Amino acid sequence: MALKNDRYTYRVTWSEDDNEYVGLCAEFPSMSWLSATPEAALKGIRKLVSDVVADMEASDEAIPEPIACRQYSGKFMVRIPPEVHRNLAIRAAESGISINRVVSSKLSQ
């Protein structure tokens, strides 16, 4: 049975080690599904997630919220070496923009 309103974040990639496609779910990082085709890998991981969520519901366990449904403030703190901070400040000053704008531009590339 498929998961109703499935909004989890899935990815399919090639596994050179397994010589198959692997289906992954970001909200359940310990799970994966191997298959010969990308379509089957996606179908497999979605079914696995559905089964695990059903088991979690039956056990009254907390079920991960889909990343797509979470609210984000747009702010996060990151520590960087002082010389990187200085270089960002110089680049921002030379461009006439804020450090936040420089970093945001680099992160979105």
Per-residue pLDDT tens digits for 25-57 = 999 999 999 999 999 999 999 999 999 999 999
- Name the average pLDDT for the chain: 94
Does any domain span residue 2? no
pLDDT of residue 31: 97
Cα–Cα distance between 105 and 41 in angstroms, integer? 34
Q: Look up residue 52 and give its two tokens.
A: 């695990």
Q: Does residue 60 share a domain with residue 18?
A: yes
Pairwise pLDDT comparison (62 vs 109), residue with the higher score: 62
pLDDT band at 103 (very low <50, low <70, confident <90, very high): very high
Count of domains in the chain? Answer: 2
CA 78 – CA 59 distance, rounded (Å): 37
Q: Are residues 20 and 44 in the same domain?
A: yes
Backbone angles phi and psi of 15, in degrees to 5: -110, 105
Q: What is the CA radius of gyration of the chain?
A: 20
Could you tell me which of 61, 63, 84 has the C-alpha nearest to residue 3?
63
Domain that holds residue 31: 10-68
Q: How far apart are alpha carbons 47 and 10 in whole angstroms? A: 12
Residues 45 and 89 reside in one and the same domain: no
Contact 41, 20 (CB under 8 A): yes
The answer to whether position 46 is within a domain reads yes
On whether residue 4 sits in a domain, the answer given is no
Task: Answer yes or no: are the C-beta atoms of 99 and 92 closer than 8 Å.
Answer: yes
> What's the pTM value of the predicted model, to 2 decimals?
0.74
